[in-house]
Chains A and B, each alone.
Chain A
Amino acid sequence: MKSFSRRKFLQISSATFASAAALGTINHVTKGSKLFAGDKTKTGTYQVPTYCNLCFWKCGAIATVKDGKLWKIEGNPLDPLSNGRLCPRGTGGVGAYSDPTRLKSPLIRTGARGNESWKVVTWDEAFNYIADKLNTIKAKHGPEAVAYFSHGIGGNFIKHTFKAFGTPHIFAPSFAQCRGPREVGFELTFGDVIGSPERTDIKNTKCMALIGSHLGENMHNSQVQELSQAVENGASIIVVDPRFSIVAGKAKYYLPIKPGTDMALLLTWSNILIKEGLYDKEYSEKYGIGFEQFAAEVSQYTPEWAYTETGVEAKLIIESARELARYKPASFIHPGRHVTWYGNDAQRSRAIALLNALLGNWNHKGAFWQPTKMPIPPYPYPAYPEAVMPRADNPGKKYPWAGEEEGLTNGIREATITGNPYPIKSWVVYATNLMNALPNQQETLKAIQNLDLLVTIDVIPSEIAGYSDVVLPESTYLERYDDLHSSPFTTPFLGIRQPVIDSPDDQKPNWWIAKQLAGKLGLGHYFPWNDIEDYLKFRVDKAGLSYTELKEKGIILGAKKPVYIEEGVEEKFNTPSGKVEFYSTQLAEKGFDPIPKYEKPEEPPVGFMRLLFGRSPVHTFSMTQSNPILQDMIEENEVWINIDIAKQYGIKNGDYIKLKNQDGMVSNKVKVKATERIRTDCVFMTHGFGHQSKALFNTYQKGASDSHLVTKYKTDPIMGGTGMNINFVTIVREA
């Protein structure tokens, strides 16, 4: 038995900073990486403010190091996103540092792609290899033959390198595999996007409807905090979900909808609001265009008809519609986030936008706010070379509303497979696991086989890293500076990410990788700054703010501006007509339905159920399952099966089964959650598990991968996103 009480030890060490906090001034001992180098043996406690990277929300955080060891990470009380409280992933960010699977040094592939056999090389060797291949590709095929994929703010500097290289092919799955349809649907209707963080005013709402959005399981911090406030305020919550989600348990109305029929409900709600005269008539007259056509179109959708499509009782549909109307304009239908479901997702998002328009709630308190943002001047870089060839991801603008900033990941994959409109010979992938982000893994593998160079830059050996020619190990967010963070929100703010602790091995920050690679490519002049801090300080100074203060506090707040109509924001719509477009001439001109229409979803074959997937509060995508702390919370996913169906198959809670989809694809074994909390015609699992990368040894093959089973997808004709909830699975008993 040890002689020194661990508990007492904690008391002593925590007292050193707790007393400072109690005085009201948090004593942030800020340490740059240089200052900290060689300090590991130092005893005592210090704190560094930074911002989180466990998801894309980028909450302000304060990390505490005790005796040279990373101890804990807490929210920064100055941060308007977290209000000083991180989500479980942010709190568990400590495990991102200690993850035993972390990439340690640059690697070059020695075996076949996907064999995960490597030789360890120096950074110089790795950069020489990459630069040599990229220059050869550029000489033969042009810079456009290189595609760069990234996720998160950490991708910014390498993005700059590839823009300097001359490729227009910059991608992020966040558009075509996530929230693209929502941005397009709202832009077509109100002339503005939802953005991230979502501009929803949950904390002030009196009534909110969630369509499949499972807040509380998807842990977008500010949204969840506001959900709690809404519950405290007694707001009415309407949850539409085939699964009795966590938030369904807090709802006044739970609508157990048949998957794929949301549009029937949305259009019927619109019809009820119009028919019963419950909509904001003055608003639609003053600010709307094409209302009469819209009203005529939706008049066919009755609650009785909707019941036959959605399985939701007519009475419940009517009552929930009236509830939304009762509280207008402080009521809204949440636009959701991951909304690439059925391939008609932009139209469904438009139906959501139009319902909101009927409530007259755009930029009204209790529904949506007008984002404000701290303006930070960009660094004055030389102009990028202009691309010679048009983009290959959306030839002929087949998908008229495909986003150009994030591109069509599935479009460039198609071009890589076919060589049309021209060959794509290299992918460079930063912190996005394309194997699990894109539907149909076979197509991704096919595309990879056509590449002369595949490079992955990541913290952990993801599946896509396993197929790469070169793998570059990045420092975690706790070990690096990153770009400045100023998201659009209710309060303008600026956040800084700065190193808390040294990288344990030969990992390097993305900015260093970007600059070194640019140098090797002869593009060094695109990085006129020597050190990242020169860049950061330049921009902060230009914004008229104090870099020292930013480093000390982690967050600088800007002056509050009006964010609601009620505070003086103008009723303004950046659509071509300058109005809320109930009837979309833009869509009609391109041959699409100007008013959303209902289409019946495909029925599952006999013995099959629809595969649905979503989020767990303790994991992000497929990037956190190897984090030892978060893994200790949830180690593997479960497949939710209605308890009556489970009984029919003779399976019970905790049994392991496999799932087989309509194309014969069989999953890893996965634990059964036999539950009352889901319909009988679908199953549900959380995304990100069932890893196939052997290098992710502590999470290898734990749980099942929905990505593996999503072989079928339907492309949204308006914006090119991939609807993924169209796969069906049957139960295979584990032998």
Chain B
Amino acid sequence: MARYGMVIDTLKCVGCMDCVVACKTENEVPIGYNRDWISYETTGKFPSLHQEIRSERCNQCDNPPCVYCCPCGASHISETGGIVLVYEDKCSGCKACMAACPYGARYIHPEGFASKCTFCIHRVETGELPACVSVCPTYCMSFGDLDDPQSDVSKLLASRSNHSLIPEAGTKPQIYYLT
């Protein structure tokens, strides 16, 4: 079975937010909410600075606290690619998942359910890439099966230095940043 993940090249990313805009239109994310966002990390003293730009979203964790804490059984691990999804009609909007997520990846949709990145599963199931990946003008994002050693994402991880976000939380995030 596939294990979907993303590998994002921070050296190529310019932080243009195209991924955020594309997610918004593709998934009709309401104004005022976003399923992905850009983080900037600047270190050093001018002019000797280092900057890392990251397109961030739900890390589709292998050990997802949002699923374990959900009292309604709404948050669950999908059979497709092991990603974390929400049954919108089961969700009570209690926000336990939001409290449990170390990444701040979730929000309560104005209609009352918890919502977040789905890796555009509706696109992936028809052979397309997630909207954010497909639109990126810097080609900094790769999506694929981390369990397949021949996939682009696996090859990138094998060949480049990388890190995930807050690994110490023990959530086993499945988004990796190339540095």
Is B14 a contact partner of A88 (Cβ separation < 8 A)?
no
Q: Give Cα A244 to B128, complex, Å.
A: 36
**Among candidates B14, B50, B88, residue contacting A7 with C-beta atoms closer than 8 Å:** B88
Is A633 a contact partner of B20 (Cβ separation < 8 A)?
yes
Using Cβ atoms and an 8 Å threshold, which residues of chain B touch A35? none
User: Given A5-B89, A7-B122, A249-B49, is A87 in contact with B31 using a C-beta cutoff of 8 Å?
Assistant: no
Is B42 a contact partner of A675 (Cβ separation < 8 A)?
yes
Provide the A202-233 mask, 1 if CB < 8 A to any CB of B, else 0. Answer: 00000000000001110101001101100110
Name A1's closest neighbour in chain B (CB-CB): B89
Interface residues of B (CB under 8 A from A): 11-12, 14-18, 20-22, 24-28, 31-32, 34, 42, 44-47, 49-51, 53, 85, 87-89, 91, 111-113, 118, 121-123, 125-128, 131, 134-140
Q: Give Cα A633 to B26, complex, Å.
A: 15
User: How many whole Å from A644's CB to the nearest CB in chain B?
Assistant: 9
Is A22 a contact partner of B126 (Cβ separation < 8 A)?
yes
| A-B complex: 3 closest residue pairs judged by Cβ atoms | A216-B14, A249-B51, A617-B16
Q: Give Cα A232 to B160, complex, Å.
A: 12
**Among candidates A5, A10, A71, A618, residue contacting B16 with C-beta atoms closer than 8 Å:** A618
User: Given A1-B88, A22-B127, A91-B135, is A231 in contact with B12 using a C-beta cutoff of 8 Å?
Assistant: yes
Is B112 a contact partner of A224 (Cβ separation < 8 A)?
no
User: How many whole Å from B89's CB to the nearest CB in chain A?
Assistant: 5
Q: Give Cα A628 to B29, complex, Å.
A: 12
Using Cβ atoms and an 8 Å threshold, which residues of chain B touch A2? 88-89, 111
User: Given A5-B88, A85-B137, is A19 in contact with B126 using a C-beta cutoff of 8 Å?
Assistant: yes
User: Given A14-B123, A216-B15, A231-B12, is A224 in contact with B138 using a C-beta cutoff of 8 Å?
Assistant: yes
Using Cβ atoms and an 8 Å threshold, which residues of chain B touch A3? 89
Using Cβ atoms and an 8 Å threshold, which residues of chain A touch B126? 14-15, 18-19, 22
- CB of A469 within 8 Å of the partner chain: no
Is A632 a contact partner of B47 (Cβ separation < 8 A)?
no
Using Cβ atoms and an 8 Å threshold, which residues of chain B touch A21? 128
Q: Apart from A18-B123, A88-B20, A642-B46, what 20 extra A-B contacts exist at CB < 8 Å? A: A1-B91, A1-B111, A7-B85, A7-B118, A7-B121, A10-B122, A71-B25, A72-B22, A91-B18, A91-B21, A91-B22, A92-B25, A216-B14, A219-B16, A224-B14, A244-B47, A249-B50, A256-B46, A617-B15, A628-B31
Q: Which of A225, A254, A632 has the most CB of B within 10 A?
A: A632
User: How many whole Å from B128's CB to the nearest CB in chain A?
Assistant: 6
**Among candidates A75, A246, A248, residue contacting B135 with C-beta atoms closer than 8 Å:** A75
Is A10 a contact partner of B11 (Cβ separation < 8 A)?
no
Q: Show 26 residue pairs from A and B whose CB-CB distance is below 8 angstroms, ordered by the A residue.
A: A1-B112, A7-B88, A10-B122, A14-B123, A18-B126, A18-B127, A74-B135, A85-B136, A92-B21, A216-B15, A224-B137, A244-B46, A246-B14, A246-B15, A249-B49, A254-B49, A618-B17, A628-B31, A629-B21, A629-B31, A630-B21, A633-B17, A633-B21, A676-B44, A676-B45, A679-B46
User: Given A86-B137, A94-B25, is A256 in contact with B17 using a C-beta cutoff of 8 Å?
Assistant: no
User: How many whole Å from B142's CB to the nearest CB in chain A?
Assistant: 12
Using Cβ atoms and an 8 Å threshold, which residues of chain B touch A7? 85, 88, 118, 121-122
Q: Give Cα A14 to B121, complex, Å.
A: 11
User: How many whole Å from B120's CB to the nearest CB in chain A?
Assistant: 9
Is A244 a contact partner of B25 (Cβ separation < 8 A)?
no
User: How many whole Å from A680's CB to the nearest CB in chain B?
Assistant: 8
- CB of A539 within 8 Å of the partner chain: no
- CB of A431 within 8 Å of the partner chain: no
Using Cβ atoms and an 8 Å threshold, which residues of chain B touch A675? 42
- CB of A73 within 8 Å of the partner chain: yes
User: How many whole Å from A246's CB to the nearest CB in chain B?
Assistant: 5
Using Cβ atoms and an 8 Å threshold, which residues of chain B touch A227? 14, 138
- CB of A140 within 8 Å of the partner chain: no
Is B49 a contact partner of A676 (Cβ separation < 8 A)?
yes
Using Cβ atoms and an 8 Å threshold, which residues of chain B touch A87? 16, 18, 137
User: How many whole Å from B37's CB to the nearest CB in chain A?
Assistant: 10
User: Given A7-B118, A244-B51, is A217 in contact with B22 using a C-beta cutoff of 8 Å?
Assistant: no
**Among candidates B11, B14, B24, B89, residue contacting A217 with C-beta atoms closer than 8 Å:** B14
Is B24 a contact partner of A86 (Cβ separation < 8 A)?
no
Name A91's closest neighbour in chain B (CB-CB): B21
- Judged by DSSP, the binding face of B is loop
Using Cβ atoms and an 8 Å threshold, which residues of chain B touch A225? 137-139
Q: Using a Cβ cutoff of 8 Å, how many contacts connect chains A and B?
A: 161
Using Cβ atoms and an 8 Å threshold, which residues of chain B touch A74? 134-135
Is A86 a contact partner of B31 (Cβ separation < 8 A)?
no
Using Cβ atoms and an 8 Å threshold, which residues of chain A touch B44? 676
Q: How many residues of A contact B (CB 8 A)?
A: 60
User: How many whole Å from B87's CB to the nearest CB in chain A?
Assistant: 8
Q: Give Cα A2 to B110, complex, Å.
A: 12
Q: Give Cα A15 to B122, complex, Å.
A: 8
- CB of A678 within 8 Å of the partner chain: yes
- CB of A193 within 8 Å of the partner chain: no
User: How many whole Å from B76's CB to the nearest CB in chain A?
Assistant: 13
- CB of A247 within 8 Å of the partner chain: yes
Using Cβ atoms and an 8 Å threshold, which residues of chain B touch A73? 25
Is A6 a contact partner of B122 (Cβ separation < 8 A)?
no
User: Given A22-B127, A85-B136, is A677 in contact with B49 using a C-beta cutoff of 8 Å?
Assistant: yes
- CB of A11 within 8 Å of the partner chain: yes
Provide the A81-106 mask, 1 if CB < 8 A to any CB of B, else 0. Answer: 01001111001101000000000000
Using Cβ atoms and an 8 Å threshold, which residues of chain A touch B15? 216, 246, 617
Name A16's closest neighbour in chain B (CB-CB): B126
Q: Give Cα A632 to B126, complex, Å.
A: 29
Using Cβ atoms and an 8 Å threshold, which residues of chain A touch B85? 7
- CB of A373 within 8 Å of the partner chain: no
Using Cβ atoms and an 8 Å threshold, which residues of chain A touch B50? 249
- CB of A138 within 8 Å of the partner chain: no
Using Cβ atoms and an 8 Å threshold, which residues of chain B touch A113? none
- CB of A250 within 8 Å of the partner chain: yes
**Among candidates B45, B47, B135, residue contacting A86 with C-beta atoms closer than 8 Å:** B135
User: How many whole Å from A19's CB to the nearest CB in chain B?
Assistant: 6
Using Cβ atoms and an 8 Å threshold, which residues of chain A touch B113? 1
User: How many whole Å from B177's CB to the nearest CB in chain A?
Assistant: 14
User: How many whole Å from B40's CB to the nearest CB in chain A?
Assistant: 9
Is B88 a contact partner of A246 (Cβ separation < 8 A)?
no
Per the 8 Å Cβ criterion, residues 14-69 of A in contact with B are 14-15, 18-19, 21-22
User: How many whole Å from B54's CB to the nearest CB in chain A?
Assistant: 12
Name A680's closest neighbour in chain B (CB-CB): B46
Q: Give Cα A248 to B136, complex, Å.
A: 20
Using Cβ atoms and an 8 Å threshold, which residues of chain B touch A215? 14
Using Cβ atoms and an 8 Å threshold, which residues of chain B touch A216? 14-16, 138
Q: Which of B22, B34, B44, B50 has the most CB of A within 10 A?
A: B22
**Among candidates B26, B47, B88, B122, residue contacting A254 with C-beta atoms closer than 8 Å:** B47
User: How many whole Å from B58's CB to the nearest CB in chain A?
Assistant: 14
Name B27's closest neighbour in chain A (CB-CB): A10
Name B19's closest neighbour in chain A (CB-CB): A88
Using Cβ atoms and an 8 Å threshold, which residues of chain B touch A677? 42, 46, 49, 51
User: How many whole Å from B170's CB to the nearest CB in chain A?
Assistant: 28
Is A632 a contact partner of B31 (Cβ separation < 8 A)?
yes
Per the 8 Å Cβ criterion, residues 240-289 of A in contact with B are 244, 246-250, 254, 256
Using Cβ atoms and an 8 Å threshold, which residues of chain A touch B51? 244, 246, 248-249, 677
Using Cβ atoms and an 8 Å threshold, which residues of chain B touch A629? 21, 24-25, 31
User: How many whole Å from B81's CB to the nearest CB in chain A?
Assistant: 15
Name B118's closest neighbour in chain A (CB-CB): A7
Q: Give Cα A88 to B122, complex, Å.
A: 22
Is A232 a contact partner of B42 (Cβ separation < 8 A)?
no
Using Cβ atoms and an 8 Å threshold, which residues of chain A touch B140? 228
Name B51's closest neighbour in chain A (CB-CB): A249
User: How many whole Å from A628's CB to the nearest CB in chain B?
Assistant: 6
User: How many whole Å from B173's CB to the nearest CB in chain A?
Assistant: 22
Using Cβ atoms and an 8 Å threshold, which residues of chain A touch B11? 231, 250
Is B31 a contact partner of A617 (Cβ separation < 8 A)?
no
